[in-house]
Amino acid sequence: MNMFKSVLHFGILVWLGLVLSSCVVSKKQFDELLTEKVKLEGELNNLQSKTALLEEQLDSLTAALQDREADNQRLQRELQKKTSRLDSLLAEHDRLQQYYNNAINNSSRLNRDMQEQHNRLLALQKTLADAEYRNNLLADSLAAREQKVAELEQVLQQTQQAITDLKNLVNQALTGFTSDELTVEQKNGRIYVSLSEKLLFRSGSIEVDPKGKKALIKLAKALRDADHIQIMVEGHTDNVPITGKSRYMQDNWDLSVMRATSIVKILTANGVDPKLLIAAGRGEYLPVAPNDSPQNRQLNRRTEIILTPDLRTLYQVLGKEN
Protein backbone atom coordinates (compact mmCIF):
# COMPACT_ATOMS: atom_id res chain seq x y z
CA MET A 1 0.00 0.00 0.00
CA ASN A 2 2.93 2.35 0.71
CA MET A 3 4.18 1.72 -2.82
CA PHE A 4 0.76 2.61 -4.25
CA LYS A 5 0.68 5.80 -2.20
CA SER A 6 4.16 6.68 -3.44
CA VAL A 7 3.07 6.09 -7.03
CA LEU A 8 -0.06 8.20 -6.55
CA HIS A 9 1.98 10.97 -4.95
CA PHE A 10 4.46 10.87 -7.84
CA GLY A 11 1.68 10.90 -10.44
CA ILE A 12 0.15 13.96 -8.78
CA LEU A 13 3.51 15.72 -8.80
CA VAL A 14 4.03 14.98 -12.50
CA TRP A 15 0.46 16.10 -13.31
CA LEU A 16 0.96 19.31 -11.40
CA GLY A 17 4.22 19.78 -13.28
CA LEU A 18 2.40 19.44 -16.61
CA VAL A 19 -0.51 21.68 -15.60
CA LEU A 20 1.83 24.31 -14.27
CA SER A 21 4.16 24.07 -17.28
CA SER A 22 3.95 27.84 -17.75
CA CYS A 23 5.40 28.42 -14.26
CA VAL A 24 9.09 28.46 -13.41
CA VAL A 25 10.07 25.24 -11.53
CA SER A 26 13.38 25.03 -9.72
CA LYS A 27 15.99 22.40 -10.61
CA LYS A 28 15.68 21.06 -7.07
CA GLN A 29 11.98 20.24 -7.59
CA PHE A 30 12.78 18.60 -10.93
CA ASP A 31 15.52 16.49 -9.35
CA GLU A 32 13.13 15.42 -6.59
CA LEU A 33 10.71 14.14 -9.22
CA LEU A 34 13.47 12.15 -10.92
CA THR A 35 14.56 10.71 -7.56
CA GLU A 36 11.00 9.58 -6.83
CA LYS A 37 10.84 7.90 -10.25
CA VAL A 38 14.04 5.93 -9.60
CA LYS A 39 12.70 4.90 -6.18
CA LEU A 40 9.53 3.51 -7.78
CA GLU A 41 11.54 1.54 -10.30
CA GLY A 42 13.53 0.03 -7.42
CA GLU A 43 10.31 -1.00 -5.68
CA LEU A 44 9.16 -2.71 -8.86
CA ASN A 45 12.42 -4.68 -9.03
CA ASN A 46 12.00 -5.68 -5.37
CA LEU A 47 8.49 -7.01 -6.10
CA GLN A 48 9.76 -9.06 -9.03
CA SER A 49 12.55 -10.47 -6.83
CA LYS A 50 9.99 -11.47 -4.18
CA THR A 51 7.94 -13.28 -6.84
CA ALA A 52 11.03 -15.24 -7.97
CA LEU A 53 11.79 -16.08 -4.28
CA LEU A 54 8.25 -17.44 -3.82
CA GLU A 55 8.70 -19.70 -6.83
CA GLU A 56 11.99 -20.97 -5.35
CA GLN A 57 10.25 -21.63 -2.01
CA LEU A 58 7.53 -23.62 -3.79
CA ASP A 59 10.18 -25.74 -5.54
CA SER A 60 11.90 -26.27 -2.18
CA LEU A 61 8.64 -27.38 -0.51
CA THR A 62 7.93 -29.82 -3.34
CA ALA A 63 11.41 -31.32 -3.06
CA ALA A 64 11.04 -31.60 0.74
CA LEU A 65 7.70 -33.37 0.29
CA GLN A 66 9.28 -35.91 -2.04
CA ASP A 67 12.05 -36.52 0.52
CA ARG A 68 9.44 -37.04 3.26
CA GLU A 69 7.55 -39.52 1.12
CA ALA A 70 10.74 -41.49 0.51
CA ASP A 71 11.52 -41.51 4.27
CA ASN A 72 7.98 -42.69 5.02
CA GLN A 73 8.28 -45.60 2.60
CA ARG A 74 11.65 -46.56 4.10
CA LEU A 75 10.23 -46.53 7.66
CA GLN A 76 7.27 -48.61 6.55
CA ARG A 77 9.62 -51.21 5.10
CA GLU A 78 11.62 -51.23 8.35
CA LEU A 79 8.40 -51.57 10.34
CA GLN A 80 7.35 -54.58 8.28
CA LYS A 81 10.75 -56.21 8.86
CA LYS A 82 10.59 -55.61 12.61
CA THR A 83 7.00 -56.88 12.77
CA SER A 84 8.03 -60.04 10.97
CA ARG A 85 10.98 -60.38 13.32
CA LEU A 86 8.68 -59.91 16.32
CA ASP A 87 6.34 -62.64 15.04
CA SER A 88 9.30 -64.96 14.72
CA LEU A 89 10.47 -64.21 18.25
CA LEU A 90 6.98 -64.73 19.64
CA ALA A 91 6.85 -68.12 18.00
CA GLU A 92 10.26 -68.95 19.43
CA HIS A 93 9.08 -67.78 22.82
CA ASP A 94 6.11 -70.14 22.71
CA ARG A 95 8.30 -73.08 21.73
CA LEU A 96 10.74 -72.39 24.56
CA GLN A 97 7.90 -71.96 27.03
CA GLN A 98 6.64 -75.44 26.17
CA TYR A 99 10.12 -76.87 26.53
CA TYR A 100 10.42 -75.15 29.90
CA ASN A 101 7.21 -76.73 31.14
CA ASN A 102 8.48 -80.18 30.17
CA ALA A 103 11.87 -79.75 31.86
CA ILE A 104 11.09 -77.50 34.78
CA ASN A 105 13.09 -79.59 37.29
CA ASN A 106 16.45 -79.34 35.53
CA SER A 107 16.05 -76.19 33.46
CA SER A 108 18.28 -73.60 35.13
CA ARG A 109 20.20 -73.11 31.89
CA LEU A 110 16.99 -73.02 29.93
CA ASN A 111 15.61 -70.49 32.40
CA ARG A 112 18.54 -68.21 31.71
CA ASP A 113 18.03 -68.63 27.97
CA MET A 114 14.38 -67.85 28.35
CA GLN A 115 15.15 -64.76 30.37
CA GLU A 116 17.54 -63.54 27.71
CA GLN A 117 14.96 -64.20 25.02
CA HIS A 118 12.40 -62.33 27.07
CA ASN A 119 14.71 -59.36 27.51
CA ARG A 120 15.43 -59.28 23.79
CA LEU A 121 11.71 -59.47 23.13
CA LEU A 122 11.07 -56.50 25.42
CA ALA A 123 13.85 -54.54 23.73
CA LEU A 124 12.42 -55.30 20.31
CA GLN A 125 8.94 -54.32 21.46
CA LYS A 126 10.32 -51.01 22.72
CA THR A 127 12.16 -50.49 19.43
CA LEU A 128 8.95 -51.23 17.56
CA ALA A 129 6.99 -48.77 19.71
CA ASP A 130 9.62 -46.09 19.11
CA ALA A 131 9.50 -46.75 15.36
CA GLU A 132 5.71 -46.49 15.36
CA TYR A 133 5.92 -43.20 17.28
CA ARG A 134 8.42 -41.74 14.81
CA ASN A 135 6.31 -42.98 11.93
CA ASN A 136 3.22 -41.25 13.34
CA LEU A 137 5.14 -37.99 13.75
CA LEU A 138 6.41 -38.28 10.20
CA ALA A 139 2.90 -39.02 8.90
CA ASP A 140 1.52 -35.92 10.64
CA SER A 141 4.31 -33.75 9.21
CA LEU A 142 3.85 -35.27 5.77
CA ALA A 143 0.09 -34.64 5.85
CA ALA A 144 0.64 -31.01 6.81
CA ARG A 145 3.12 -30.49 3.98
CA GLU A 146 0.82 -32.22 1.50
CA GLN A 147 -1.97 -29.86 2.53
CA LYS A 148 0.39 -26.88 2.12
CA VAL A 149 1.41 -27.99 -1.37
CA ALA A 150 -2.23 -28.63 -2.31
CA GLU A 151 -3.19 -25.12 -1.18
CA LEU A 152 -0.29 -23.60 -3.13
CA GLU A 153 -1.21 -25.57 -6.25
CA GLN A 154 -4.82 -24.43 -5.94
CA VAL A 155 -3.81 -20.77 -5.58
CA LEU A 156 -1.43 -21.03 -8.53
CA GLN A 157 -4.09 -22.69 -10.68
CA GLN A 158 -6.62 -20.01 -9.75
CA THR A 159 -4.07 -17.28 -10.51
CA GLN A 160 -3.21 -18.83 -13.87
CA GLN A 161 -6.88 -19.18 -14.77
CA ALA A 162 -7.52 -15.56 -13.77
CA ILE A 163 -4.67 -14.42 -16.02
CA THR A 164 -5.99 -16.49 -18.94
CA ASP A 165 -9.51 -15.11 -18.44
CA LEU A 166 -8.14 -11.57 -18.27
CA LYS A 167 -6.15 -12.07 -21.48
CA ASN A 168 -9.29 -13.28 -23.27
CA LEU A 169 -11.17 -10.25 -21.95
CA VAL A 170 -8.42 -7.88 -23.17
CA ASN A 171 -8.29 -9.58 -26.58
CA GLN A 172 -12.05 -9.18 -26.96
CA ALA A 173 -11.85 -5.51 -25.95
CA LEU A 174 -9.05 -4.70 -28.42
CA THR A 175 -10.48 -6.22 -31.59
CA GLY A 176 -10.27 -4.08 -34.70
CA PHE A 177 -6.59 -3.17 -34.41
CA THR A 178 -3.78 -4.59 -36.54
CA SER A 179 -0.75 -6.48 -35.21
CA ASP A 180 1.57 -3.59 -36.07
CA GLU A 181 -0.59 -1.33 -33.89
CA LEU A 182 -0.91 -3.49 -30.79
CA THR A 183 -0.30 -7.03 -29.52
CA VAL A 184 -1.48 -8.98 -26.46
CA GLU A 185 0.87 -11.64 -25.08
CA GLN A 186 0.87 -13.83 -21.96
CA LYS A 187 4.29 -14.73 -20.55
CA ASN A 188 5.98 -15.21 -17.18
CA GLY A 189 2.63 -15.12 -15.39
CA ARG A 190 1.80 -11.65 -16.76
CA ILE A 191 -0.12 -10.13 -19.66
CA TYR A 192 1.77 -7.69 -21.91
CA VAL A 193 -0.30 -5.27 -24.01
CA SER A 194 2.20 -3.62 -26.37
CA LEU A 195 0.99 -0.50 -28.23
CA SER A 196 3.11 1.01 -30.99
CA GLU A 197 3.99 4.69 -31.29
CA LYS A 198 2.16 4.58 -34.63
CA LEU A 199 -1.10 3.96 -32.74
CA LEU A 200 -0.56 6.33 -29.81
CA PHE A 201 1.69 9.32 -30.51
CA ARG A 202 3.11 11.59 -33.13
CA SER A 203 6.91 11.74 -33.16
CA GLY A 204 8.23 13.43 -30.02
CA SER A 205 4.71 14.10 -28.69
CA ILE A 206 3.19 13.07 -25.35
CA GLU A 207 -0.41 13.70 -26.47
CA VAL A 208 -2.29 10.51 -27.36
CA ASP A 209 -3.80 10.41 -30.87
CA PRO A 210 -7.58 9.85 -31.21
CA LYS A 211 -7.23 6.28 -32.48
CA GLY A 212 -4.86 5.41 -29.64
CA LYS A 213 -7.20 7.02 -27.13
CA LYS A 214 -10.03 4.86 -28.51
CA ALA A 215 -7.96 1.72 -27.88
CA LEU A 216 -7.11 2.84 -24.34
CA ILE A 217 -10.76 3.57 -23.54
CA LYS A 218 -11.69 0.05 -24.68
CA LEU A 219 -8.92 -1.39 -22.51
CA ALA A 220 -10.06 0.70 -19.53
CA LYS A 221 -13.60 -0.68 -19.84
CA ALA A 222 -12.17 -4.21 -19.70
CA LEU A 223 -10.02 -3.42 -16.63
CA ARG A 224 -12.30 -1.15 -14.62
CA ASP A 225 -13.76 -4.08 -12.60
CA ALA A 226 -10.40 -5.84 -12.10
CA ASP A 227 -9.25 -5.41 -8.50
CA HIS A 228 -6.77 -8.29 -8.14
CA ILE A 229 -4.08 -7.06 -10.53
CA GLN A 230 -1.37 -4.44 -10.75
CA ILE A 231 -1.05 -2.38 -13.92
CA MET A 232 2.38 -1.10 -14.95
CA VAL A 233 2.45 1.36 -17.87
CA GLU A 234 5.97 1.46 -19.35
CA GLY A 235 7.09 3.95 -21.97
CA HIS A 236 9.90 2.94 -24.39
CA THR A 237 11.79 4.89 -27.05
CA ASP A 238 14.47 4.28 -29.66
CA ASN A 239 18.00 5.65 -29.27
CA VAL A 240 17.49 8.74 -31.41
CA PRO A 241 17.83 11.89 -29.22
CA ILE A 242 14.70 14.01 -28.99
CA THR A 243 14.41 17.34 -30.76
CA GLY A 244 12.75 20.45 -29.41
CA LYS A 245 13.86 20.02 -25.81
CA SER A 246 11.94 21.87 -23.12
CA ARG A 247 12.34 22.57 -19.44
CA TYR A 248 10.47 19.39 -18.58
CA MET A 249 11.64 17.12 -21.38
CA GLN A 250 15.36 16.87 -21.92
CA ASP A 251 15.87 13.32 -23.20
CA ASN A 252 14.24 9.96 -23.97
CA TRP A 253 13.89 9.20 -20.26
CA ASP A 254 11.57 12.18 -19.85
CA LEU A 255 9.68 11.38 -23.05
CA SER A 256 9.02 7.77 -22.02
CA VAL A 257 7.81 8.76 -18.53
CA MET A 258 5.54 11.53 -19.79
CA ARG A 259 3.99 9.24 -22.39
CA ALA A 260 3.32 6.61 -19.72
CA THR A 261 1.75 9.28 -17.52
CA SER A 262 -0.53 10.45 -20.36
CA ILE A 263 -1.79 6.89 -20.79
CA VAL A 264 -2.35 6.43 -17.05
CA LYS A 265 -4.51 9.56 -17.00
CA ILE A 266 -6.70 8.22 -19.82
CA LEU A 267 -7.12 4.88 -18.04
CA THR A 268 -8.07 6.49 -14.73
CA ALA A 269 -10.41 8.94 -16.47
CA ASN A 270 -12.27 5.94 -17.85
CA GLY A 271 -12.79 4.02 -14.63
CA VAL A 272 -9.55 2.19 -13.81
CA ASP A 273 -8.70 2.36 -10.09
CA PRO A 274 -5.68 4.72 -9.72
CA LYS A 275 -4.34 2.59 -6.85
CA LEU A 276 -3.71 -0.25 -9.33
CA LEU A 277 -1.64 1.87 -11.74
CA ILE A 278 2.08 2.63 -11.98
CA ALA A 279 3.56 4.93 -14.63
CA ALA A 280 7.19 4.25 -15.55
CA GLY A 281 9.64 5.12 -18.30
CA ARG A 282 12.40 2.87 -19.64
CA GLY A 283 13.73 5.33 -22.21
CA GLU A 284 15.84 3.66 -24.89
CA TYR A 285 17.33 1.05 -22.57
CA LEU A 286 14.97 -1.91 -23.01
CA PRO A 287 14.65 -2.36 -26.80
CA VAL A 288 12.95 -5.34 -28.43
CA ALA A 289 15.19 -5.04 -31.52
CA PRO A 290 18.60 -3.47 -32.33
CA ASN A 291 18.35 0.22 -33.15
CA ASP A 292 20.08 -0.31 -36.50
CA SER A 293 17.26 0.36 -38.99
CA PRO A 294 14.12 2.51 -39.27
CA GLN A 295 11.95 -0.63 -38.97
CA ASN A 296 13.64 -1.77 -35.76
CA ARG A 297 13.58 1.70 -34.22
CA GLN A 298 9.85 1.82 -34.92
CA LEU A 299 9.43 -1.45 -33.03
CA ASN A 300 11.29 0.02 -30.04
CA ARG A 301 9.06 3.13 -29.92
CA ARG A 302 6.22 1.56 -27.97
CA THR A 303 4.25 1.58 -24.75
CA GLU A 304 3.71 -1.63 -22.78
CA ILE A 305 0.84 -2.10 -20.34
CA ILE A 306 1.83 -4.99 -18.06
CA LEU A 307 -0.94 -6.72 -16.06
CA THR A 308 0.40 -8.63 -13.04
CA PRO A 309 -1.78 -10.80 -10.73
CA ASP A 310 -2.15 -9.85 -7.07
CA LEU A 311 0.00 -12.34 -5.09
CA ARG A 312 -1.35 -11.51 -1.63
CA THR A 313 -3.30 -14.82 -1.44
CA LEU A 314 -0.12 -16.75 -2.24
CA TYR A 315 1.73 -14.81 0.47
CA GLN A 316 -1.01 -15.71 2.96
CA VAL A 317 -0.74 -19.44 2.18
CA LEU A 318 3.03 -19.35 2.57
CA GLY A 319 2.70 -17.36 5.79
CA LYS A 320 0.70 -20.12 7.51
CA GLU A 321 3.89 -22.14 7.93
CA ASN A 322 5.70 -19.35 9.78
DSSP letters along 163-224, please?
A: HHHHHHHHHHHTTT--TTTEEEEEETTEEEEEEEHHHHB-TT--SBPHHHHHHHHHHHHHHT
The pLDDT of residue 221: 94
Residues 278 and 185 grouped into a single domain:
yes
Residues 25 and 137 grouped into a single domain:
no
Residues 261 and 180: their CA atoms lie apart, in Å, by 23
Residues 198 and 286 grouped into a single domain:
yes
Of 95, 113, 148, which marks where a domain is finished? 148
- This model's pTM is above 0.85: no
pLDDT level of residue 48 (50, 70, 90 thresholds): confident
110 in a structural domain: yes
Compute the residue count for the chain: 322
- β-pairing, 229-236 vs 190-196, is unpaired
Least confident of 83-97, 203-217, 273-287: 83-97
In this predicted structure, the answer to whether residue 21 has a pLDDT above a threshold of 60 is no
Residues 74 and 38 grouped into a single domain:
no
Residues 13 and 104 grouped into a single domain:
no
Sign of CA dihedral 215, 220, 223, 225: negative
Cβ neighbors of 224 (< 8 A, separation 6 or more) are 270, 271, 272, 273
Look up the domain containing 218 and give its range. Answer: 2-61+164-319
Least confident of 3-12, 149-158, 178-187: 3-12
Mean pLDDT rounded to a whole number for the chain: 85
Residues 57 and 139 grouped into a single domain:
no
pLDDT level of residue 206 (50, 70, 90 thresholds): very high
pLDDT level of residue 271 (50, 70, 90 thresholds): very high
For range 279-292, the mean pLDDT: 96
Q: Bigger pLDDT: 5 or 128?
A: 128
Least confident of 33-42, 86-95, 135-144: 135-144
Q: Bigger pLDDT: 30 or 251?
A: 251
Cβ-based neighbour number of residue 127 at 10 Å:
14
Residues 54 and 76 grouped into a single domain:
no
Are the C-beta atoms of 203 and 242 separated by less than 8 Å?
Answer: no
In this predicted structure, the answer to whether residue 10 has a pLDDT above a threshold of 70 is no
157 in a structural domain: no
pLDDT level of residue 244 (50, 70, 90 thresholds): confident
Query: Rounded to an integer, what is the distance from CA 224 to the centroid of its chain?
Result: 23
Residues 27 and 171 grouped into a single domain:
yes
For range 232-241, the mean pLDDT: 96
In the chain, where does DSSP find H-type helix?
Answer: 2-19, 27-102, 108-173, 197-200, 210-223, 252-269, 294-300, 312-319
Residues 127 and 276 grouped into a single domain:
no
Sign of CA dihedral 63, 228, 263, 249: negative
CATH number at residue 228: 3.30.1330.60
Residues 260 and 15: their CA atoms lie apart, in Å, by 12
For range 8-22, the mean pLDDT: 54
Residues 282 and 223 grouped into a single domain:
yes
For range 43-47, the mean pLDDT: 85
What does residue 17 show for φ and ψ, rounded to 5 degrees?
Answer: -65, -40
Residues 44 and 81 grouped into a single domain:
no
The pLDDT of residue 105: 72
- pLDDT more than 90, % of the chain: 40
In this predicted structure, the answer to whether residue 127 has a pLDDT above a threshold of 80 is yes
154 in a structural domain: no
Return the amino acid letter for 199: L
| Count of domains forming the chain | 2
pLDDT level of residue 75 (50, 70, 90 thresholds): confident
